[in-house]
Chain A
Amino acid sequence: MSALASLTRKPWIWSFVAAGLVWLVTVLFTGGASALGLTLAALTFSSFAIIVGTGQMLVITLGPGNIDLSVPATMTLAGTLALKFMAVDNSLILPGLLVAIAIGLAVGSVNYGLIKLLRIPPIIATLCMSFIVQSTAIWSNRGLRIKPPPALAEFATSGPFGIANVALVALLITIIAWIFLERSIYGRWITSIGQSMAAARMAGVPVDGARFLTYVICAVLASIAGYLLASFSGGAALNMGAEYLLMSIAVVVIGGTSVAGGFSNVPGIWGASLFMFLVVSMLNTYGLGAGFRMIMTGIIIIAVILLASRRNTSLT
């Protein structure tokens, strides 16, 4: 009983409860026929949002005003350049991944460089950066759809027991992120910075180093997600990152991470990403069009933030 009570106090539990409910409603509608297929599809398709959302969560943990708007542009550029570099050659898959990671390292470093040197809010710095990165992607892509190497496409779309490998990669990344956040000094650093930057600085936390690292990690995760997404969907497209700007923020918020910073929550990213995908499939099963689906998605996000605010106010 006490185990159940402590479980309901976890902020991430609600996103899983919601995801479970939506799953149940969808499966009931189809008479239970789609139970396995739906679960596997949800795991596969939400893995990209999970990877990007984990990076965005670390940035949001840094405190108010910290949001990385360059995530979609970084995904697109990394996907495009990595696929172009690999040129459908199976032997270049690993170097291609390194190209994607290098792009993430570069974008993240410049992001924090702009924040620090120009003393501008992170939103503006990453906004400027997203313009420049997106332009580079447009210039290098030229509207062509470059195909991934066959072995990489095979890796991204298949996996053991029908669970796609991308979902396993997402799981691995979130486990590492969780260990980093909960069991390492870095996690203490960014949480303390999010709660009070001035206090963290006085306590001897290397504020600049920790923030720099966070922006770099976020950009690298975005570029890995772009690399995988481009391989998964059969090629890089210029608009492939577009939906992940709002999605990456939405999964962080729905997952129970505080938008004001200072509190992060890795399991919630999973619950929220699964939930977001399942809502779309539920509305699809009920035959509702794209318009209704988006309206429902928006209403759900607002409902979640309203509920979360009530929870917070009742605590204090």
Chain B
Amino acid sequence: MSLRIPVDTIRLAVPVLALSALLIAVFWLQPRAMSYLGLNLLFNLAVPIALATVAQMFILAVNDLDLSMGAFVSFAACVTATVLHSSPLLGALILAAAVAVYAAMGAIIHLRNLPSIVVTLGMSFVWTGIAVLLLPAPGGAAPAWVRSLMTAKPPLVPMAIVASVVIALVTHLILMRTSLGVLIRAVGGNQQSVARAGWSPLLAKAAAYALAGTFAVLAGIALVGLTTSADANIALRYTLLSIAGVILGGGEFVGGRVSPVGAVIGALTLALAGSFLSFLRISPDWQIGAQGAILVIVLALRLFLNKLERQERGG
């Protein structure tokens, strides 16, 4: 009984294990993937997914769920590929306004005690609608600085890995090391006690939504940097992927229990699942099926570990 592993470490261990197992399998199947170029190719598309997952994590931290994530990332991508490209100042203003809308959404959801699922469901129509107005047909162009940032080749470690580590670090600092982060997680834990302690749950919810909006905007910009064009449906899959990533990374639906590092690892795992299949020469038809299967396996593993932990405590 002297050695007790903290619960949070165990929660993080499962996604780390899942990602390592997948990586080892990929390297074993294709040793050439173990290179600068190979890693970059494997994880390139993971950067926008990781950003969207982190955005979803802020919403889940306050016990809400954002069903408009995919539509909003698509909207941000369309703005990036059109307005931000042609007139950067106006584009930046639009994206800032969109983040403000997210904050307002959080405030209204809190004030009127609305179900976040329905509000974000309605907003997903609005975002897609604006995106269709901006870009009726696929097209647009990536601003030069976005393109050069996403295709940069830092020494030793590929950009995709650097970006993932930076995202994980920044969100970890915000959520785990600042008083605002503590407040956000506390609202997820127990809203009443936050209010009784003299803090404002309203502020925390608005801040969580604003942070989610910010990271979702970054996801849209990063996506355009990789694809160099956009369309109104480019990221619709991100809604379900981002939820899956947070859960895969050890997050819970209620109680403000989320892990920023885990969320990024979860997103990387989901992105890697697709490449893994192509190395096995399995048809890419099964790509999203594999993502679902990995999710089930990781959740089963977590249940098993939780049970083990409870037994140890009891005995």
Residues of A within 8 A of B (CB): 65, 67, 69, 114, 117-121, 123-124, 127-132, 134-136, 138-139, 142, 242, 246, 249-250, 253, 259-260, 289-302, 305-306, 309-310, 313
Contact = CB atoms under 8 A, between A and B. Distances in A.
Contacts of B292: 127-132, 135
12 contacts: A67-B117, A118-B303, A123-B243, A124-B243, A127-B240, A128-B244, A128-B296, A131-B244, A134-B289, A246-B124, A253-B115, A295-B126
A124 B240 contact: no
Contacts, number: 140
B132 A260 contact: no
Contact of B115 (A250, A260, A292, A298): A260
Interface of A is mostly: helix
B113 A309 contact: yes
A289 B114 CA distance: 30
Interface in B47-71: 65, 67
Interface residues of B, number: 44
Contacts of A309: 112-114
B119 interface: yes
A291 B126 CA distance: 8
Given A136-B289, A249-B117, A299-B126, 19 more contacts: A117-B300, A118-B299, A119-B303, A120-B299, A127-B295, A130-B240, A130-B292, A135-B286, A135-B289, A135-B290, A135-B292, A246-B124, A253-B121, A291-B136, A294-B129, A298-B126, A301-B121, A305-B119, A309-B113
A301 B124 CA distance: 10
A299 to B, nearest CB: 7
Interface of B is mostly: helix
Nearest to A70: B292
B288 A306 contact: no
Contacts of B300: 117-118
A27 B192 CA distance: 50
Contact of A138 (B124, B133, B247, B285): B285
A250 to B, nearest CB: 6
B143 to A, nearest CB: 23
Given A134-B288, A309-B114, A298 B129 contact: yes
